Structure 1
Amino acid sequence: MNFYKILTASLLFLIISIPGSAQLRGGGEAYPDLHPDKEAMARFQSNKFGMFLHWGPVTLRGTEIGWSRGKIVPISDYDNLYKEFNPVLFDADKWIKTAKDAGMKYFIITAKHHDGFCLFDSKFTDYDIMSTPYKKDIVKALAVACKKYGVDFGIYYSLADWHHPDYATRYGGDPRPVSGSVMPKYVQYMKDQLKEIIVNYDPKVLWFDGSWEECLTHEMGMDLYAYLHSLKSNVIINDRIDKGFQGTEVQNHANQEKYAGDYATPEQRIGAYNVNEPWETCMTICEQWAWKPNDKMKPLETSLETLIRTAGGGGNLLYNVGPMPDGRFEQRQADLLVQMGDWMKQNGEAIYGTKGGPYEPTPDFVSTRKGKIIFIHILNKNLSDLTIPVPSEVKIIKAKYLNDGKNITVKVENGTLKLILNKDQKLPYVLALETSADTGNLATITQK
């Protein structure tokens, strides 16, 4: 079964499965009146496309960050890799310009993964970038570069920390007993570091992970959410700060209002069609999150279809890149990002600031909308014509190809629109349908 068939089947299953009435936004049951800043959330959702970046000393081994500790790389080896980590070719400006040129509007860096190593200068641990031969604050450099290039800056911080002695869950055969671990001390350590992060780097987004660990509780998640909002009221926080995250499975929206978090984060899959609740798909450009030699990379068509289907479903795409140990992006990954950026230069109007729908995604196309325009993203090269219902609330005035502005003859009969398509157009391409009224509140249309 090829990628496109798997993608379509998964997407249709998710569309059928979503209940879609609860909200994943706010401080949870302990803080029912605590909600994300509306302007900040609107900006986050409008950005649509961001770069995720997993990086650290583990790239010296080419294995997965965090998860390979003790499983593939012996713990004693893994925990000492920082002593060799010296990414002399790291260039924050080059990284962020690459993201910007790819059409990405925001950037999230793994400041601390499950392995506990910090890419930032922290006064609460020596297990950080300042103890490496490099001795420069990676996170600070990236925050400055994001401001320079107008890219919104965000920070990933894992609640799990398999290195910290007071964290009361062990992983990878770690022989240390948990009897001496004092979780309240670890929670305070997290709060101290997160305060450092907010004060020193001013992130617009805090992206948490690890909440499934047994020693972390629902109460801790809600408390941490409230604490962070007391430090910065307009910071956006994902659902993994609490226990409501459903991993790579179908997102379970039942009783989600009891959990803290502002938006859902389906992983390595395109989220369910949902234009009423904020969500963000995180996915790798290759197969591993951290850099791996000769890792299989997704082709351009797959990458663009992932972005388009995510936007058409109502979500953001956070696309992950894993830099090499010396600090460079692999050239093949950089080249792919340039190609994505070239497509976005022509078609970004149909992605940025849009709402998914009004047509539910199909194998042939997805739709986005903004103002009086409905954008139809064509994904099937064999599609010679498009026949779709006209939303009952509007009239179709005209249609054109977004990439070259050429008009398409509009035929509307009995509430149905038929467009004859130019099969010479290179996939994926976008049709812009101008309507008679604002499209934001159009009812969802399910294709038979």
Structure 2
Amino acid sequence: MSKVWLFLALAFATLDSVLSKHRRLPPPLPVLPLPSAAQLRWQQRELVMFFHFGMNTFTDSEWGSGHEDPRLFNPSFLDASQWVKVAADAGFSLVILTAKHHDGFCLWPSKYTDHSVKSSPWKNGEGDVVREFMEAAQARDLDVGLYLSPWDRHERTYGLQLEYNEYYMGQLQELLDGEYGHVSEIWFDGAKGNNTKNMTYHFNDWFSTVKRMQGSINIFSDAGPDVRWVGGETGTAGTTCWSPINRTSLRIGDGSIIGYLNTGDSNGSEWVPPECDVSIRPGWFWHKNETPKAVDELLHIYYTSVGRNCVLLLNVPPNSTGLISEPDVNRLTEFRSAVTTIFSANLAEGAVAKGSSQRGGRSGGFLAANVLADDPQSYWAPADSDEDPWIELRLEKPAEFNVVRIQEAITLGQRIIKHEVYVKFTSVEQDERGLTKGERVANGTTVGYKRLHRLGRVVRAQAVWVRVTEARGPPLISSIGLHFDPYSKSQIS
């Protein structure tokens, strides 16, 4: 009888061993904080278009005084459908309009002030730019955001703490109560002049109202809570750029935290990714004597914003006739063509991927080959015990490229603290120059949603090796791409 029990015990042990080899390990635990579903959708857009339009368009100003005559606002050919078409054709899926800038002039007929389109000759005072903008975006299936300046140089109650906060709350409710439709992002600008009235904004009350009225909206301000300012208006994020940050360290309108906003915080307790706002022209509003930035400058902005874990918010101001000017349209067409030319082809396609290890082994599902799939939900994960994680792509034949793209699976947190990129010139471990790892062509800190390394020179190689030298837990890489940028200058940017 004991032999029978011994046989059964050995049989069950053998069966358990066989089954365990085919048992799939669950995903690794997340590294907090994590993005919400709305934040993740926002990040995946990569590009958002801003439209600064209002009284300043007609007074050749950037910051209006608030004393402008509403009769100055009279765009003869305003066509929000043209704005939206320009955005859609350029690859933008979210558009944001300045419903009220610092001068206090409202682009909708607000019930709380006469300083609005209802006092203008445009459409005999019956017009509503916000409504036309929303309807044009909805017709093209683009999402919409609105900018409502807290600083108001026209409103008489500004400086009266209770009265103005109630006034502003009333305007928020007008825009977000559903009459205009779904709003994906609301923009709270922290700018305020030095010699203005003392005013304490009730941001927490405003934020709570916004979330109650539009549950899936992302709120932008210097301090989030959903999207933060990057700390400048050049379209450039820090070379280190974390989505996590500590909101308790942030104060809206505080210029002393610009560096912190630019880099984020590896120990941050909340997920508040940065948005890089910049204008296609020198000014935010249209001015007749200004021209749009060159394509190579726009590409540099793309690499230093989207390519550094940010979303690029590009302002394209309509002119005084109410249309996007032809030079801006043409420049956006060129920019879109350039981005498509660079990133439409992944030269790593068909490569063989090999990792230093794989979570759960071959049957774990976290294969190195996942980085070549066009699926943000799949990723390569090394074993928890792997102290030197790396992944190598061996190409079918040598390829010429000058851009290396790396993306993390941020649904489980931002993890990579430092990384390096090597190229190998042959398919064997040691090339003709005696380099065992190959030549290091890039190194950096954070990756996040997307990191683009613009190498500054064209590399012809047959293998690429990405090594993670420091991370918050096992690094999870969702995608690696190799691209050729024909617009790249000789310098490293």
Q: Give the direction of change, closer, same or farther, for the CA distance of 1:306–1:132 in structure 2 (3 Å limit).
A: same
| One-letter amino acid of the counterpart of residue 327, structure 1 | G
1:291 Cα offset (Å): 0.9
Q: Give the direction of change, closer, same or farther, for the CA distance of 1:392–1:300 in structure 2 (3 Å limit).
A: same
In the TM superposition, 1:183-262 aligns within 5 A as 183-199=161-177, 200-201=179-180, 202-210=182-190, 215-217=198-200, 220-240=202-222, 247-248=231-232, 255-257=246-248, 259=250
Residue 41 (structure 1) aligns with:
39
| One-letter amino acid of the counterpart of residue 209, structure 1 | D
In the TM superposition, 1:319-334 aligns within 5 A as 319-334=314-329
Q: Distance in 1 between the 2:117 and 2:425 partners?
A: 59
DSSP-derived class of the 1:289 partner: coil
Q: Give the direction of change, closer, same or farther, for the CA distance of 1:153–1:63 in structure 2 (3 Å limit).
A: same
Q: Distance in 1 between the 2:141 and 2:400 partners?
A: 29
Query: Could you tell me whether the CA contact under 8 Å between 2:81 and 2:133 is conserved in 1?
Result: yes
1:247 Cα offset (Å): 4.8
Kindly, what percent of the aligned residue pairs are identical? 25
Residue 438 (structure 2) aligns with:
416
Q: Distance in 2 between the 1:335 and 1:286 partners?
A: 13
| One-letter amino acid of the counterpart of residue 277, structure 2 | C
Q: Does 1:166 align with 2:157?
A: yes
Deviations for 1:269-322, whole angstroms, at most 9, x for unmatched residues?
Answer: x95488975111101111111111221431111111101221111001111112
Q: Give the direction of change, closer, same or farther, for the CA distance of 1:49–1:166 in structure 2 (3 Å limit).
A: same
Structure whose CA Rg is larger = 2
Q: Give the direction of change, closer, same or farther, for the CA distance of 1:430–1:101 in structure 2 (3 Å limit).
A: farther
Bigger fraction of residues in strand: 2
TM-score normalized by structure 1?
0.64
1:429 Cα offset (Å): 9.6
Residue 29 (structure 1) aligns with:
none
| One-letter amino acid of the counterpart of residue 220, structure 2 | N
Deviations for 1:223-261, whole angstroms, at most 9, x for unmatched residues?
Answer: 221221122221100124779968539999985336589
The worse-fitting range, judged by mean Cα deviation, of 244-253 and 125-134 is 244-253
Q: Does 1:439 align with 2:423?
A: no
DSSP-derived class of the 1:395 partner: strand
Residue 293 (structure 2) aligns with:
298
1:108 Cα offset (Å): 0.9
| One-letter amino acid of the counterpart of residue 205, structure 1 | E
How many residues were matched structurally?
A: 339
**Which protein has greater RCO, CA pairs closer than 8 Å, 6+ apart?**
1
DSSP-derived class of the 1:143 partner: helix
Query: Could you tell me whether the CA contact under 8 Å between 1:52 and 1:318 is conserved in 2?
Result: yes
Q: 5+ unaligned residues in a row in structure 2: which ranges?
A: 1-30, 347-368, 375-387, 403-422, 430-435, 442-455, 467-474, 481-491
Query: Could you tell me whether the CA contact under 8 Å between 1:107 and 1:154 is conserved in 2?
Result: yes
Q: Distance in 2 between the 1:117 and 1:348 partners?
A: 41
- Give the superposed CA RMSD: 4.4
The worse-fitting range, judged by mean Cα deviation, of 289-298 and 240-249 is 240-249
DSSP-derived class of the 1:335 partner: helix
Q: 1:396 aligns with which of 393, 398, 407?
A: 393
DSSP-derived class of the 2:171 partner: helix
Q: Give the direction of change, closer, same or farther, for the CA distance of 1:41–1:350 in structure 2 (3 Å limit).
A: farther
Q: Distance in 1 between the 2:145 and 2:463 partners?
A: 35
1:325 Cα offset (Å): 0.9
Residue 86 (structure 1) aligns with:
74
Query: Could you tell me whether the CA contact under 8 Å between 1:271 and 1:313 is conserved in 2?
Result: no
TM-score normalized by structure 2?
0.58
Q: 1:286 aligns with which of 277, 281, 285?
A: 281
Q: 2:135 aligns with which of 133, 137, 144?
A: 144
Q: Distance in 2 between the 1:310 and 1:246 partners?
A: 9
DSSP-derived class of the 1:193 partner: helix
Query: Could you tell me whether the CA contact under 8 Å between 1:102 and 1:344 is conserved in 2?
Result: no
Q: Give the direction of change, closer, same or farther, for the CA distance of 1:197–1:374 in structure 2 (3 Å limit).
A: same
Q: Distance in 2 between the 1:210 and 1:86 partners?
A: 28
Q: 1:154 aligns with which of 145, 148, 152?
A: 145
Q: Give the direction of change, closer, same or farther, for the CA distance of 1:22–1:89 in structure 2 (3 Å limit).
A: farther
Q: Give the direction of change, closer, same or farther, for the CA distance of 1:288–1:211 in structure 2 (3 Å limit).
A: closer
DSSP-derived class of the 2:104 partner: coil
Q: 5+ unaligned residues in a row in structure 1: which ranges?
A: 1-20, 26-35, 70-74, 169-181, 352-369, 376-390, 420-426
Q: 1:50 aligns with which of 48, 51, 54?
A: 48
